[in-house]
Amino acid sequence: MLPFEISEYKERLGKTKQTMEAAGIEVLLITDPANMNYLSGYDAWSFYVHQMLVVMTDEPQPVWIGRKQDANGAKLTTWLDAHDIIPYPDDYVQSPIKHPMDFVADILKEMGQAKRHIGVEMDSYYFTAKCFERLQAALPNSVFKDATLLVNRVRLVKSDAEIMYMKRASKLAEKAMAAAIEAINDGVRECEVAASIYQAQISGTEEFGGDYPSIVPLMPSGNKTCTPHLTWTDSRYTNGDLVIVELAGCYKRYHCPMARTAVIGHPAPQVKEVADIVIEGLNVTLEAIQPGMTCEEVEQVWKRYLSDKKLEKDSRLGYSMGLNYPPDWGEHTASLRQGDLTVLEPNMTFHLIPGIWLDDFGVEISESFRVTEKGYEVLADFPRQLFVKPVLKAM
């Protein structure tokens, strides 16, 4: 079931260990499921309970520690030997007395790792304050270090195999967005459009099916388009509604996000003006992208373009993305914004979002791209325009 060759996992592990050594970390405790997947292949919807991948600089394989009923999932989806898959009993699950980190600490003691410099993902969604408290109490002779984003940064530059999966995800994004634009019409319920999106995302193509994306379709409409992160309701669209759709295709946990904006009936002049600015600014920014630029310099291209348009965007222009699990497809590392001096390298991948959200409406049109040896490559192929849906007259 492994989506990559074992040699690729070992190469990723080697880079992670080099980064650990440079940071003075001997043992790395990974709770972010994307990082667990990246290094081991582990893939299951089990991240609602505590689980962990332990990487030690002096051990050839990581150790997976998780709930007993998920251990066979680790055997099926990872490249790890059976003795490196260690389950904890079910009485640790959501117990007011016992905690899975107590079990993890006991395993580290048994392995002679209780007096090491231990890195933990302090700002991960999946590593709680209670986790840290219990580890500190159980391992008083260890030195804990913040290893947030250590593996995420190793993930920034994708392999060719990862890029292939993201290109498959782009085909799913195209299909899902086409389904959304087709379904949006006067009198149609928002939830029906969401259902069309999900059907397209997961049914996929004749060649391959889709995975569940890390974020649900974001679908603000009407005056709610002034903010980007609202989902659907059971309300019906009406003539004049502006509709933003942001979604992603997902294949083997690799994403290709995309946003488009549609209007039912004739767009207001201000909407058309903002849409034209967003599209032209997106084109100008893409054409400027070169390896060796910094993230900050990419955003500066957009800001120079926008400077005389009497519009302002105070949120970041984009972010690195790829492999992930809910609640986000972003990698939480490089951002296209002022102050980010991350240098663009070939096979880095970003979601570029020159969206404009005003007080009473917004326009969002985005593209996912990879940095190439000479410039950029947009992953999905979908019309870059404001979609106008004519109102169908009743017979």
**Residue 179: inside a domain:** yes
**pLDDT of amino acid 393:** 63
Same domain flag for 141 and 165:
no
Domain boundary among the residues 109, 128, 154 is at 154
Same domain flag for 118 and 263:
no
**pLDDT of amino acid 392:** 75
SS (H, E, C) the chain: CCCCCHHHHHHHHHHHHHHHHHCCCCEEEECCHHHHHHHHCCCCCCCCCCCEEEEECCCCCCEEEEEHHHHHHHHHHCCCCHHHEEEECHHHCCCCCCCHHHHHHHHHHHCCCCCCEEEECCCCCCCCHHHHHHHHHHCCCCEEEECCCHHHHHCCECCHHHHHHHHHHHHHHHHHHHHHHHHCCCCCEHHHHHHHHHHHHHHCCCCCCCCCCCCCCECCEHHHHHCCCCCCCCCECCCCCEEEEEEEEEECCEEEEEEEEEEECCCCHHHHHHHHHHHHHHHHHHHHCCCCCEHHHHHHHHHHHHCCCCCCCCCCCEEEECECCCCCCEEEEEECCCCCCCECCCCEEEEECCCEECCCCEECCCEEEEECCCCEEECCCCCCCEEEECCCCCC
Same domain flag for 269 and 253:
yes
**pLDDT of amino acid 310:** 86
Same domain flag for 90 and 208:
no
Same domain flag for 191 and 89:
no
Number of structural domains (the chain) is 2
> What is the residue range of 29's domain?
6-154
Domain boundary among the residues 154, 176, 204 is at 154
**Residue 1: inside a domain:** no
Domain boundary among the residues 136, 154, 172 is at 154
Express each pLDDT in 209-263 by its tens digit: 999 999 999 999 999 999 999 999 999 999 999 999 999 999 999 999 999 999 9
Same domain flag for 147 and 165:
no
Same domain flag for 67 and 188:
no
Express each pLDDT in 143-194 by its tens digit: 999 999 999 999 999 999 999 999 999 999 999 999 999 999 999 999 999 9
Same domain flag for 373 and 341:
yes
Same domain flag for 119 and 165:
no
Q: pTM value?
A: 0.96
Domain of 205: which CATH number?
3.90.230.10
